[in-house]
């Protein structure tokens, strides 16, 4: 198996702005095929939203346990201001620079290097890899889950390689995530001249009152493992170019990140009722429900592997945004652990070379420990 830095460079050199397909999956599949994995690639979606997904499996002895690595090969757009090419990986000062270095081609390279050192007799190892995580996430991991089910594949445990570390590699793992719902709000009025307000109906005061009520809500005080839910106003739009016209419509958007005291449906209903009281309507889209993998055997395996390689005992956390773990939790227990996230989505995204080697060792330890557990 090629060394982890070479694997990371191969993946990073393939442009894969979401939705990803093509060359980056070529590099991924070629490396895994070389160490005995059966690689299945398939497309999902339509038009400009077509994405590529990949399920790679190396089966162990009959009845053995199944451990899955999961992640994404798509990246966010590079933006301007890079010191070197965003898709021309370069090592400078002990760091590997390039888009995807930490989120999350570097972690996938570490998984691949680790897989090459796991004996096949230890059990079944799989990779659940999508090209649709940084975008809408409509045609990625969910399609992979359906594909796995059609193949009769059921991992016992799954590790997602999101960049969870904060200050040093190993200081945090994610044992859960809050849910997310975005809600579009609108109030209809009646257009008219500002000098004749009695002949018009201004929707803006109604929308402002609605937003004031929403902003004043105290959603909860948090739970044992989750921070308090929060509601943020993320857009306000009227689009009225005339200074002497009362507009006919006013719109806003809110985003709620919520803990396990709530659901997307409960917030959709609550916000809908508030909007209706102010003469408006609400159109919600829930992108994920909260989930928790309670501390136990799986988190202990990860903690032991991290401690052995770094001397750090990782903090179990549920902070941060959403990830594809929100889908995978329906398949098996899932925990996220990966590189330091300080440069993700930034220009000059970079990973420490030493961290790539250390992470590969950590992933190898975790997988071998997971496959050795009884009950396969």
What positions carry a catalytic annotation?
74, 133
Supply φ then ψ for residue 88, to 5 degrees. Answer: -125, 80
247 Cβ partners below 8 Å, 6+ apart?
Answer: 189, 191, 202, 203, 204, 238, 239, 240
- Mind spelling out the 3-state secondary structure of 103-153? CCHHHHHHHHHHHCCCCHHHCEEEEEEECCCCCCCCCCHHHHHHHHHHCCC
Q: Are 253 and 281 in contact (CB under 8 A)?
A: no
Distance between first and last Cα of the chain: 27
Residue 185 pairs in a beta bridge with 252, 282
Is the separation of the CB atoms in 141 and 52 below 8 Å? no
Q: What tokens appear for 56 in the block? A: 């790679």
Kindly give the residue spans of alpha helices, DSSP state H, lying in the chain: 4-12, 23-33, 105-115, 141-150, 204-215, 264-277, 297-310, 325-328, 353-372
Q: Which stretch of DSSP H or E encloses residue 291?
A: strand 291-292
Q: Is the peptide bond before 104 cis (omega within 30 degrees of 0)?
A: yes
The 10 Å Cβ neighbour count of residue 288 is: 22
Taking the CA of residue 144 as centre, how many other CA atoms within 13 Å lie in the half-sphere pointing to its CB?
Answer: 33
Q: What is the DSSP letter of 48?
A: G
DSSP-assigned states of every residue in 302-337: HHHHHHHHHS--PEEE--S---THHHHTTTS-EEE-
CA dist 323 → 64, 162, 238, 316 (Å): 28, 8, 32, 16
């Amino acid at each position: 198996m090629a060394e982890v830095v070479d694997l990371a460079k191969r993946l990073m050199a393939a442009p894969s702005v979401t939705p990803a397909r093509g060359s980056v999956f070529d590099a991924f599949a070629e490396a895994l095929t070389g160490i005995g994995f059966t690689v299945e690639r398939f497309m999902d979606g339509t038009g400009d939203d077509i994405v590529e997904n990949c399920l790679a499996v190396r089966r162990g002895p009959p009845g053995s346990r199944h451990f899955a690595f999961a992640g994404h090969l798509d990246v966010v757009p590079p933006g301007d201001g890079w010191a070197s090419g965003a898709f021309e990986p370069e090592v400078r000062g002990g760091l590997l620079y390039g888009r995807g270095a930490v989120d999350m081609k570097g972690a996938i390279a570490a998984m691949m290097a680790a897989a090459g050192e796991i004996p096949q007799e230890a059990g079944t190892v799989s990779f659940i890899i999508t090209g649709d995580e940084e975008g809408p996430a409509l045609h990625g991991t969910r399609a992979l889950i359906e594909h796995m089910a059609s193949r009769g594949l059921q991992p016992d445990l799954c590790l997602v390689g999101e960049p969870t570390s904060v200050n040093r590699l190993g200081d945090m793992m994610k044992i859960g995530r809050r849910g997310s719902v975005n809600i579009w709000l609108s109030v209809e009025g009646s257009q008219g001249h500002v000098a004749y307000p009695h002949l018009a109906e201004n929707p803006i005061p109604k929308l402002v009152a609605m937003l004031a009520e929403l902003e004043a809500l105290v959603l909860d005080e948090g739970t044992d493992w989750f921070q308090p839910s929060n509601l943020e106003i993320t857009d306000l739009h009227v689009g009225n170019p005339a200074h002497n016209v009362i507009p006919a419509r006013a719109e806003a958007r809110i985003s709620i990140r919520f803990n396990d005291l709530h659901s997307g449906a409960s917030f959709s209903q609550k916000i809908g009722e508030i909007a209706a009281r102010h003469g408006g309507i609400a159109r919600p889209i829930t992108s994920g429900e909260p989930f928790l993998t309670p501390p136990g055997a799986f988190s202990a395996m990860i903690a032991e592997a991290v401690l052995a390689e770094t001397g750090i005992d990782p903090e179990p956390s549920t902070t941060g945004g959403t990830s594809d773990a929100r889908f995978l939790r329906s398949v098996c227990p899932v925990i996220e652990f990966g590189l330091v996230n300080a440069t993700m989505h930034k220009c000059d995204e970079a990973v420490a070379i030493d961290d790539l080697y250390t992470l590969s060792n950590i992933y190898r330890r975790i997988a071998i420990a997971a496959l050795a557990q009884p009950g396969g």
